[in-house]
Amino acid sequence: MHYRELGRTGLKVSVLSFGGSSLGGAFRETDDSESIRTVHTALDLGLNFIDVSPYYGATRAETVLGKALKDIRRDRYFLATKVGQYGHGEFDFSAARVTRSLDESCARMGVDYVDVLHCHDIEFADLNQIVDETLPALVKLREAGRIGHIGITGLPLKIFKAVIDRAPEGSVEAILSFCHYELNDSSLESLLPYFKSKHIGVINASPTGMGVLTERGAPSWHPAPKPIIDGCRRAVDYCKAIGADIVKLAVQYSISHPEIATTLIGTASSENIRKNVRFAEEPIDFELMARVLEILRPIHNHNFTRGRPENRDPIVA
């Protein structure tokens, strides 16, 4: 496993990290004992960064993670969770709520400290509130030593600059982006020089675009429009026909960018963790990658967006 610095946080994180959304049953029905084994496998294989949220599985993911971490030394992993999103369409980014939220998350996970606390999916929030109220509350928690670092997450790319440009320097130290650095969409790249200039660490999630680049395909709730789903399907079918694993290619693609510190892998299966770690270590078939990128070219950087109207990205189609 390779490790990279997460911005200026001082956290040296594994290029593959553990995405805890899967523990809440986001992608399929999960079995908690298998989930716990998966966390242990991830740590044993050198993944040292775990990402979760009270939103995943309506607190279930944090609770299961708490069980998994019970007998694990706290210095074996970095832990990130989130505040502000609690149920479907249920958001509260007030200072009081996010402060209480950290206490609840820590209690569920049996820890007294998290390394990174993110404002979760801020495209659904009033960004003025994030800048004027939520981030100052998190800065207080950081000053009090309750959290190590502060991050923001969301799907539209425009939210990051919108907040970072207005927040006091150093308040935001990391961002978590998803579905924008994968074989069919590398639009996150356009922001990497900006993040670098601000010393902000970059966390990427969903190397398979939340399932579009897998043989199983996108789950029913997937927000991508049909042309993206179909375009990705062509790449999946191509790989399948020649006996190649598109997930391997997708993981290798996402983790190879030197300016992206880590990529979250969401799975609740030990076998999948092992497989992903193997993918990360195996040589890349660049000829195949060139062919697959060519197949995906008609939909490259095509996107979907969400959030309050003012926080949405322009649609590329």
Partner 1 sequence: MALGPSPANPTLDSHQHFWRYSAEDYGWIDEPMARIRRDFLPEDLQPNLAAAGLAGCVAVQARQTLGESRWLVELARAHPFIRGVVGWVPLAQPQAREELERLRSDSIFKGVRHVVQGEADGFLDHAAFNAGIKEVAACGLTYDVLIFSRQLSESLRFIDRHPAQTFVLDHIAKPRVSGAPDPEWRRLIREFARRERTFCKFSGVVTEVPGWQWTPELLRPYFEVVLEAFGPRRLMFGSDWPVCLVASEYLAWVEFVRDCSAALTPEEQSWIFGRTASTAYRL
Q: Is 3 tagged catalytic?
A: no
Q: Which of 124, 186, 123, 129 shows the shortest CA–CA distance to 159?
A: 123
Min dist. Cβ of residue 299 to partner 1 (A): 10
Q: Select the residue interacting with partner 1 from 92, 104, 126, 259 (CB under 8 A).
A: 259
Amino acid (1-letter code) at residue 225: P
Nearer to partner 1, 120 or 248 (CB): 248
The tokens describing 230, both together, are 């179909």
Judged by phi (left if over 0) then psi (alpha if -120 to 50, else beta), residue 197 lies in alpha
Regarding 3 and contact with partner 1 (CB under 8 A), the answer is: no
Residue closer to partner 1 by CB (options 61, 235) is 235
Q: Which of 258, 259, 248 is nearest to 286 (CA)?
A: 248
- 214 binding partner 1? (CB under 8 A): no
Q: Is 284 in the site for partner 1 (CB under 8 A)?
A: yes
Q: Is 286 in the site for partner 1 (CB under 8 A)?
A: yes
Interaction pattern, residues 298-317, with partner 1; x per rule: CB under 8 A: --x-----------------
Q: Is 287 in the site for partner 1 (CB under 8 A)?
A: yes
CA distance from start to end of the chain: 36
**Residue 229 interacts with partner 1 (CB under 8 A): yes or no:** no
Among positions 105-144, residues that touch partner 1 (CB under 8 A) are none
Nearer to partner 1, 256 or 272 (CB): 256
Backbone angles phi, psi at 76, to 5 degrees: -85, -10
Tell me the window of 40-48, 52-60, 164-172, 257-265 that interacts with partner 1 (CB under 8 A): 257-265
Complex with partner 1: residue 58 or 288, whichever CB lies closer: 288
Residue 194 found at the interface with partner 1 (CB under 8 A): no
CA–CA separation, 161 and 182 (whole Å): 21
Question: Distance between CA atoms of 24 and 127, rounded to whole angstroms?
Answer: 27
Taking CB under 8 A as the criterion, the residue among 257, 266, 270, 273 binding partner 1 is 257
Residues 6 or more apart whose CB falls under 8 angstroms from that of 28 comprise 268
Residue 206 CB, nearest approach to partner 1 (Å): 16
Exposed/middle/buried for residue 203 (C-beta within 10 Å: 0-12, 13-18, 19+): buried
Instruction: From 30, 24, 18, select the one nearest 56 (Cα to Cα).
Output: 24
Q: Are 54 and 97 in contact (CB under 8 A)?
A: no
In a 3-state reduction of DSSP, which class is residue 149?
strand
Q: List residues with catalytic annotation.
A: 56
Give contact residues for partner 1 (rule: CB under 8 A): 4, 186, 189, 196, 252-253, 256-259, 283-284, 286-287, 289-290, 293-294, 296-297, 300
